[in-house]
Structure 1
Amino acid sequence: MTWLKDMFGVEKPIIAMCHLQALPGDPHYDRAGGMAKVVDLALHDLRHLQGGGVDAVMFSNEFSLPYLTRVRPETTAAMARVIGELHRDIRVPFGVNVLWDPIACIDLAAATGALFMREIISGVYASDFGLWNTNVGDTARHRAALAPALRMLYNIVPEAAVYLGNRSPVDIARTTVFNNGPDALCVSGLTAGAETDTQVLAQVKAAVPDTAVLCNTGCRIDNIERQLAVADGAVVGTTFKIDGRFANLVDPERVRAFMQRVRSVR
């Protein structure tokens, strides 16, 4: 897709997740380490992701478990502080993901200069976080008011949730594109790190050939060639971490090996 190439400078970009530790107000926040620890660990991961050659980074409050569908102000404020402190070290295009609140995501993007965001922006779901509703009309208008150039990545197969109604991902993709004009669609597995079904990915791409479709979870060095044969790019997090475990910090050797594989196939 043209905008992907223009923004990231490559075909089939790899957007690396920079997972922030639990933040003030989160159940697992490390009060002893405080925000200084959150910043230090985010900087550790950012440097190793960029050093390994990723095409972009996306900052998310991944360890704010269990997630809210409308975050509290302290979460957005804490994320803005982290990104602000890291700003001089960011050398690649960056985006934001405030789990799971698209309005807060736009607020954060406007405050930090993020170029793109990923969120659950449309649809209604039964989820581990309760009944999960959205208001895409409000979200689109909020972007128009605060950050009209912000690219919006719509996650249409959200993790830990199921669409309310008997609709396939292909049907959801078609109507999402028609009604909302997303910059990209993200297709996911069951949870962070869970492999995305390549068949579903291919079906969605065939249904909306003029819209960017990203593989959103579960990309690994042994499946990335297959996923990029279909997808226009990928969002990658867990596989970059020590031992490929979600809770760990980024392993620079895993990043380098993965990106070397990507460069050999794209």
Structure 2
Amino acid sequence: MAYQNLISEIKENILYITINREKALNALNKDTLIELADVVVFAGKTDEVRGVIITGAGEKAFVAGADIKEFSDYNGKQGEELAKKGQDAVFNAIEKSSKPFIAAVNGFALGGGLELAMACHMRVAADHAKLGLPEVTLGLIPGYGGTQRLTQLVGKGKAIELITTASMITAIDAKKIGLVNYAVPQADLISKAKEILDLVKQRAPLAIAAAIKSVNASIDNGNGYDTEIEEFGKCFETADFKEGVAAFIDKRKAVFFGK
């Protein structure tokens, strides 16, 4: 996969995506969003990929926001379309992917950068990283799901505080409020994300996908219990279920094939 703004490679069933615009602090411009949309589709349809790690080039920024110059003269309709396209093609697509995505936050995660990290299923941050949604300083609000996902992760009161004050918080504080799963030294960032996915890779792929779908349903449709029941039943029809039970009875390690 050859991209202009991304570096992507698969190693040991993990797809590593690096947003490669270091001089622009990895800001999300239109071309980068198009490429992200493409690689998310690739991850979803490629059996070799069991999980995804997204990070930014360098140590200064994961993604320091969107490329403001590209939409500085937009009107209301254009702004709405910008948000809708981005949410549908990238941010929601990541959240709804059957493959687990981990954001490895290696520096500033601001605006669209924090929204990208929050769209991922898990977040690991370097302990020097800073996170925030500064859109109100531009006369805007978060447009790529930030108001919704931040509220889901940290609660209404804290979300409103962070959004309306435009305050940045450290990775350590982000961990305390549940915004990131782990805060680790920069040198350990990718290895920690890999450590999580190495555990995921040992589990049944179809069950992983069913679990992600069920968790998302708790927010998306207001009745995640029905989705959980349905997905639980579907698991019984898989070869992975039969293998998992047989391995448990035989006291051996299960070998899953996602079937």
- TM-score, normalising length from structure 2? 0.35
Name the larger-Rg structure: 2
Q: Which of 1 and 2 has higher RCO (CA within 8 Å, sep 6+)?
A: 1
TM-score, normalising length from structure 1?
Answer: 0.34
